[in-house]
């Protein structure tokens, strides 16, 4: 059993929950924003889930996100958990609420 | 097991591995592999995913400059999808759990994702995503199969073709010895896919509705072309039943198909009715004779154009026509219809590069020929040269005005003069006819009748143009109906005009093969019907049950009715009345 970083303090696990209204006119959370979102998530350490009333999608998978079929105006719940949650929350929300496809604010990893 | 209902358009049953086609038709060759090869398949999958991702990136870079970042970014997004952990995980799990091939595993994984979208309800967004996913699957299959990606023409094992829709050119290259059946999501009974499947005698069901996300290449499916059923994932008992049915079919078909009965079709009261075959391929001339046809009433010549990259040569035309005439013999007529391309019979060869917004109202058929005279003249030369081999007749399709007909005839005259000069023999007394399939031509029938030796009424187009209902669009299928009173009136008008001018008139649409209409058509004054060869024995049997005065009464009554539904039920009733077994 490896137990690294015994000397350093345990990372602060942050949990952030936000309610987001999907924008991305005209098509909502479609291939481009979903792929960008998943890619961004994969660059962070935190786990990210995005849910609608019936389904919870893994933020790392664009396919999962697309399965939400979130058209513009859909209300989604964004849950982020992990040490870099507060860095991730801004750019992830930006993708979901961008005013049009291709105009989302670039995330830090772009 | 799942049973889907569609429209039966070509009889017979078939069982086989499915070949799922989208636009290019990629065949999944092997469904499962020996256990020791599974890890190799997983590696192939990973390589393909990495390659696909990289290729999409390259496309993005290339297209950025050309189309702008906005559009090119879609490939950036696709590139990300190929790396998606869900896709990788699902596909690998399927391969490992079931010893699937990489192709089959990835296809199942993508289709499961599509299926989930579908279950969330039908929305425009889900439909667009499905199109994206189909493309994704196709790219992966192409990469997995490398150069071996099999186009439709290269199929060698018996398969059942499943598709959203087939273009006529795709249907035409299907080889009945390998393609045992086909089923499509869209299309109706008179779509060209249906007509071609009938001509090739491949069992077919069309208009099934959505099913492609429930099936992967290699799955065993059953097509029942008698009842219009597509059976997915059949259970043991169903498989056994259909295997029996198919072997019975095959053993009786030799006896069944040869119904050669050369005695003429005479009505009960002794009136001669000529029954001709509609054909598409030279090989079908034999089918006409086998079924006791009086000749070929409609030889569609489009097949010469639709599997090609360039226009067919005069020699190719000539050899096809000559072989049909020689097969049919000098005693029976062969009506050759000049090129009827355009509409849904799209071809690159004929110079139809520009996409028309409304192709059925556009540059199709004789309109295209008049605009492209070198192509038209090539065909006419070949037809004239072939005329010496039998009783050949020429027919122009889609004529909508008297002027067009005049132009056609004057071009034909020019070609005749050219042949005369070159001392190439041809018959000088070839009967010339025109199709009546546009309402304007039907209304002007008395004028057109003075210019030709015969009419052939193409009811498929006449119905769609009269009722303004696309025959391939299942959502307006209830409007597209040959039994509509408007069609009966137009037919009556055209037939009267032909009889008054003392020229022959023939019906060559699907309508003429439908037993229910036989009394009506004879009652309206038609004495020639042209239908797909396999309908001829049945038509002959029905003609022999009809008495002309009675048929005239039926036609008179039918013309008084107000709706297609009334006409249909009346004609069905009248058919039952004359059938010896009461139609059961």
User: Which of A22, A27, A35 would best serve as a mutation to test chain B binding (most B beta carbons within 10 A)?
Assistant: A35
Contact (CB, 8 A) for B581 and B549:
no
Kindly calculate the radius of gyration of chain B based on its CA atoms and give it in whole angstroms.
26
Report helix, strand or coil for B336: strand
Which residues, at least 6 apart from B187, have a Cβ–Cβ distance to it below 8 Å? B7, B165, B166, B193, B194, B206, B207, B472, B474
Nearest by CB to A62, from B81, B117, B126: name it.
B81
Going by the DSSP 8-state scheme, the letter that residue B377 receives in this structure is H
Rounded Cα–Cα distance for residues A101 and B534 (Å): 56
Q: Are strands B229-232 and B220-224 parallel, antiparallel or unpaired?
A: antiparallel
CB B7 within 8 A of CB B189: yes
| Res B154: pLDDT | 56
Complex ipTM, two decimals? 0.79
**pLDDT, tens digit (0-9, with 9 covering 90-100), for B334-392:** 999 999 887 555 444 444 555 677 888 888 899 999 998 999 999 999 999 999 999 99
> Which candidate in B78, B192, B287, B317 is catalytic?
B192
B221-247 as b/e: b if 16+ CB within 10 A:
bbbbbeebbbbbebeeeeeeebeebbe
3-state secondary structure B165-226: CCCHHHHHCCCCCCEEEEEECCCCCCCHHHHHHHHHCCCEEECCCCCHHHCCCCCEEEEECC
A14 Cβ contact list (under 8 Å, min separation 6): A46, A80, A81, A82, A83, A85, A86
Q: Which residues of B touch A27 (CB under 8 A)?
A: 125, 128
Q: For residue range A33-55, what is the model confidence (pLDDT) as tens digits?
A: 999 999 999 999 999 999 998 88
Q: Which stretches within B366-508 are classed as H helix?
A: 366-371, 373-386, 402-421, 439-443, 445-449, 459-466, 485-501
Rounded to whole angstroms, what are the CA distances from B538 to B109, B261, B579?
48, 12, 12
* Token pair belonging to B64: 């950025």
Q: pTM here?
A: 0.59
Query: Could you confirm whether B192 is annotated as catalytic?
Result: yes
Answer whether residue A9 shows pLDDT above 60: no
Q: Phi-psi bin for A73: left (phi > 0), alpha (psi -120 to 50), beta?
A: left
Q: Do residues B61 and A90 lie in contact, with contact meaning Cβ atoms separated by under 8 Å?
A: no
Q: How many CA atoms lie within 13 A of B327 on its CB side?
A: 21
Whether pLDDT at A107 is above 60 = no
Query: What pLDDT does residue A60 have?
Result: 94
Check if the beta carbon of residue A16 is closer than 8 Å to that of residue A83: no
Q: Pick from B78, B84, B126: which is nearest to A69 by CB?
A: B126
A58: which chain B residues are within 8 Å (Cβ-Cβ)? 85-86
Contacts of A32 in chain B (CB under 8 A): 73-74, 76-77
At B164, phi and psi to the nearest 5?
A: -65, -50
CA atoms within 13 A on the CB side of B309: 0
Report how far residue B128's alpha carbon sits from residue A101's, in angstroms, rounded to the nearest whole number. Answer: 15
CA B363: distance to chain centroid? 20
Cβ B85–A60 below 8 Å, yes or no?
Answer: yes
Residues B288, B369, B408, B508: which is the catalytic one? B508
- Tens-binned pLDDT, residue by residue, of chain B (584 aa): 889 998 888 888 999 888 887 544 566 666 778 888 899 999 999 999 999 999 888 877 877 776 667 667 777 888 889 989 999 999 999 999 988 889 889 988 988 888 888 777 667 788 778 778 877 887 888 888 764 444 554 566 778 988 887 765 566 667 777 888 999 988 777 666 777 787 777 899 998 988 887 887 778 899 999 888 999 999 999 999 998 888 877 655 544 444 556 788 999 999 999 999 999 888 889 889 988 899 999 999 987 876 566 778 999 999 999 999 999 999 999 999 999 887 555 444 444 555 677 888 888 899 999 998 999 999 999 999 999 999 999 999 999 999 999 999 999 999 999 999 999 999 999 999 999 999 999 999 999 999 999 999 999 999 999 999 987 777 887 899 999 999 999 999 999 999 999 999 999 988 999 999 999 999 999 999 999 888 898 899 899 999 999 999 999 999 999 999 999 999 999 999 998 765 44
pLDDT of residue B124: 76
> What one-character DSSP code corresponds to residue B579?
S
* Chain A nearest CA to B51, separation (Å): 18
Per-residue pLDDT for A27 more than 90? no
Q: In this complex, do A63 and B84 lie within 8 Å of one another by their Cβ atoms? A: yes
What mean pLDDT do residues A17-43 have? 88
Dihedral, CA atoms, B341, B383, B389, B334, nearest 10 degrees?
40
| All residues at 6 or more sequence positions from B434 whose CB lies less than 8 Å from its CB, including other chains | B395, B396, B399, B405, B441, B448, B451, B452, B455, B456
- Chain B residue numbers with beta carbons less than 8 Å from the beta carbon of A66 are 117, 129
A49 forms beta bridges with A58, A79
Predicted pLDDT of residue B284: 85
Q: What is the pLDDT of residue A8?
A: 54
**pLDDT band at A89, cuts 50/70/90?**
very high
Q: What is the pLDDT of residues B430-467, one digit of tens each?
A: 999 999 999 999 999 999 999 999 999 999 999 999 99
DSSP B30: -
Closest Cβ opposite residue B85 in set A28, A30, A61: A61
Task: Report the b/e string of B163-180 with b at 16+ CB within 10 A.
Answer: bbbbbbbbbbebeeeebb
Check A102 against B70: CB less than 8 A apart.
yes
Find which of A42, A66, A70, A109 to mutate to test the B interface (most B CBs within 10 Å of its CB). Answer: A66
Our CA-based measurement puts residue A55 at a distance from the nearest CA of chain B, in whole angstroms, of: 10
Helix (H) or strand (E) holding B120: none
B368-372 contacts at long range (C-beta below 8 A, 24 or more positions apart):
B368/B339, B368/B341, B368/B342, B369/B338, B369/B339, B369/B408, B370/B404, B370/B407, B370/B408, B370/B411
- Chain B's closest residue to A35, CA to CA, is B77
Q: How many CB atoms lie under 10 A from the CB of residue A53?
A: 8
């Amino acid at each position: 059993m490896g137990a690294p970083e015994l000397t350093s303090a345990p990372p602060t696990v942050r949990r952030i929950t936000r309610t987001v209204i999907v924008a991305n006119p005209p098509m909502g959370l479609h291939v481009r924003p979903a792929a960008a979102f998943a890619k961004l998530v994969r660059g962070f350490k935190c786990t990210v889930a995005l849910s609608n009333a019936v389904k919870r999608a893994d933020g790392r998978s664009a396919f999962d996100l697309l399965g939400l079929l979130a058209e513009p105006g859909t209300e989604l719940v964004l849950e982020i958990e992990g040490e870099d949650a507060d860095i991730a929350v801004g750019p992830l929300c930006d993708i979901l609420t961008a005013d049009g496809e291709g105009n989302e604010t670039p995330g830090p990893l772009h | 097991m799942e049973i889907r209902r569609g429209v039966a358009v070509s009889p017979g049953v078939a069982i086989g591995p499915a070949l799922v086609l989208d636009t290019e038709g990629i065949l999944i060759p092997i469904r499962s592999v020996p256990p020791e090869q599974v890890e190799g398949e997983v590696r192939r999958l990973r390589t393909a995913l990495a390659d696909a991702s990289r290729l999409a990136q390259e496309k993005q870079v290339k297209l950025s400059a050309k189309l702008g970042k906005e559009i090119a970014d879609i490939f950036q997004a696709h590139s990300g999808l190929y790396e998606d952990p869900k896709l990788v995980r699902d596909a690998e799990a399927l391969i490992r759990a079931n010893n699937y091939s990489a192709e089959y595993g990835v296809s199942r994984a993508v289709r499961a994702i599509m299926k989930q979208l579908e279950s969330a309800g039908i929305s425009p967004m889900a439909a667009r995503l499905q199109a994206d996913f189909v493309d994704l699957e196709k790219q992966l299959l192409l990469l997995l199969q490398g150069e071996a990606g099999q186009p439709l023409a290269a199929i060698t094992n018996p398969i059942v073709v499943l598709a959203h829709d087939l273009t006529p050119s795709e249907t035409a290259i299907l080889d009945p010895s390998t393609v045992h059946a086909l089923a499509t999501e869209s299309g109706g009974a008179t779509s060209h896919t249906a007509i071609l499947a009938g001509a090739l005698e491949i069992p077919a069901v069309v208009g099934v509705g959505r099913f492609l996300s429930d099936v992967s290449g290699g799955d065993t499916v059953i097509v029942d072309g008698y009842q219009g059923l597509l059976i997915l994932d059949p259970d043991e008992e169903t498989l056994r039943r259909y295997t029996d049915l198919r072997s019975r079919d095959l053993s009786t078909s030799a006896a069944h198909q040869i119904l050669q009965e050369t005695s003429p079709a005479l009505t009960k009261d002794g009136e001669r009715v000529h029954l001709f075959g509609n054909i598409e391929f030279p090989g079908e001339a034999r089918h006409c004779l086998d079924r006791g046809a009086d000749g070929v009433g409609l030889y569609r010549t489009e097949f010469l154009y639709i599997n090609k990259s360039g226009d067919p040569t005069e020699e190719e035309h000539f050899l096809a026509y000559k072989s049909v005439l020689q097969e049919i013999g000098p005693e029976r007529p062969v009506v050759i219809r000049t090129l009827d391309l355009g509409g849904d019979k799209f071809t690159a060869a004929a110079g139809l590069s520009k996409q028309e917004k409304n192709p059925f109202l556009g540059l199709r058929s004789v309109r295209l020929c008049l605009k492209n005279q070198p192509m038209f003249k090539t065909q006419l030369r070949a037809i004239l040269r072939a005329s010496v081999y039998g009783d050949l007749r020429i027919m122009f399709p889609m004529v909508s005005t008297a002027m067009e007909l005049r132009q056609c005839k004057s071009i034909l005259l020019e070609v005749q003069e050219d042949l005369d000069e070159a001392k190439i023999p041809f018959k000088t007394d070839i009967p010339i006819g025109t199709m009546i399939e546009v309402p304007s031509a039907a209304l002007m029938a008395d004028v057109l009748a003075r210019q030709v030796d015969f009419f052939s009424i193409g009811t498929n187009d006449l119905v769609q143009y009269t009722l303004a209902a696309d025959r391939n669009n299942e959502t307006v299928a209830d409007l597209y109906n040959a039994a509509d009173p408007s069609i009966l009136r137009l037919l009556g008008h055209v037939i009267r005009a032909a009889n008054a001018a003392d020229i022959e008139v023939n019906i060559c649409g699907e309508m003429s093969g439908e037993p229910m209409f036989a009394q009506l058509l004879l009652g309206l004054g038609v004495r020639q019907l042209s239908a797909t060869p396999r309908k001829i024995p049945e038509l002959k049997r029905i003609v022999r049950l009809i008495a002309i005065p009675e048929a005239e009464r039926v036609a008179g009554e039918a013309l008084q009715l107000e709706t297609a539904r009334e006409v249909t039920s009346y004609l069905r009733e009248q058919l039952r009345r004359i059938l010896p077994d009461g139609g059961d």
